Amino acid sequence: MKALRIRKFGSPSVLAIEEIDKPQPAKGEALVQVKAAAINPSDVKNVSGSFRATTLPRTPGRDFAGIVVEGQELEGAEVWGTGAGLGIVRDGAHAEYVAVPIEILCRKPANLSMEEAAVIGVPFTTAWAALVRAAKVQAGETILIVGARGAVGQAATQIAKWQGARVIGADRGAEAIPGADAAIDVGAGELRDRALEKTDGKGVDAVLDTVGGPMFEPSLRSLRRGGRQVVITSTGERRVSFDLVDFYHNSLHLIGVDSVQFTPTDVRKMASALLPGFESNALKPPAIEAVPFAKAIKAYERIAGGQAKAKQVLTFS
C-alpha cells in the first residue's frame, strides 16, 4: 500500500510517499481502508519533531474516516476515528490502510461525507475534553474562547452552545465569530477590558485558551472570581508569566488538556457523546478542501506556511 512516511524530522519536505506492507491488525484491532484523512496542525508539528514520544520511521495522521475491512462484527461499517497514539507511537492514517484499536472507531454519521467525518476527530474531541470534562461547562455560563476561528475554537463554540452556554469568541481581526453570541478582536485592545464589558463587569466563568503564549495572561485576567481556564497549546514562547497573588486571591483554576494522551477509552466515550450532536446537526464539521493523496506533501506545506484557507483532507481513490 502507499503511505506517507517520516524518516527524519524537519519541514514537510522530509516527507515521502512510499510503498510499504499493509498493516496486520492485532487482537482487539481493526483494519480500516482509509477513504479520507485530515491533516491537523499537530501532524505538521509531529513531522517537525515537536512530540518527544514519536518514533521513526512513522506514518503520520491522527484523524480519518473509512471502511472496516477486518474487525469482527464491524466489517463493512463506515467509521471515523482519531488519536490513541496514531502517527506517534503507531502508524497513522495518512496511508491507504490503517490498523487501529476497535475501541476508537465510531460509526460515521449518515449525514456526513467521508471527508467531513475525517476532520471531526482532533478538533471535536479536544474541545469536548476541554469544555465538558475539564472546565465542566454548565448551561447559562459564559465561556470565552480564545482563538475561536481555529478548528478547535470552532468546535468548542458549537459544543458550548449545544451545552446551553453563552459564548464570547476572541480572535485577531474578529468582528464576528460564527455561532458565538459576541466577539472580541484581540488586536484592538485589552482582552480583559473587552471581556468585562461583555459580562457587565463580572468576568467570564471559563476560558478555553487555544493560543497560549502572549494570550495566556490576558485570558486568565478575564475570568470572574473562582473561574477556570483550560489551556491546550502555546504558540511562540512556551514559558508564560502571570500575577500569582491575583491568581490565588481570585481562587482561579488552571487546567491543561493534552489530546495526544487520549486513551482508546477516552476516544470511545467522547465520540459516543458527540455522535448525537452531529446526527442532529447541532455540531457541524469545518470547511474542508479535499486533496488527492498524491499531493499530500503540498498540503502539509500549505498548513506549515499558514496558506491553507480550509481544513486539508487527503482523499484516496
What topology does CATH give the domain 2-120+285-315?
A: Quinone Oxidoreductase; Chain A, domain 1 (3.90.180)
Q: What's the confidence (pLDDT) of residue 235? A: 83
b/e 166-205 (16+ beta carbons within 10 angstroms → b)? bbbbbbeebeebebbbbbbebeeeebbebbbebbeeebbb
Residue with cell 482523499: 315
- Mean pLDDT for the stretch of residues 148-156: 95
pLDDT tens column, 16-42: 999 999 999 999 999 999 999 999 999
In this prediction, residue 98 has a pLDDT band, given cuts at 50, 70 and 90, of very high
Domain boundaries, the chain: 2-120+285-315, 123-259
- Mean pLDDT for the stretch of residues 115-132: 97
Note whether 4 and 21 are within 8 A (CB). Answer: no
Q: What's the confidence (pLDDT) of residue 72? A: 82
- Same CATH topology for 2-120+285-315 and 123-259: the answer is no
pLDDT of 189 over the 80 cut: no
User: 123-259 maps to which CATH number?
Assistant: 3.40.50.720
Least confident range from 2-16, 46-60, 130-144, 230-244: namely 230-244
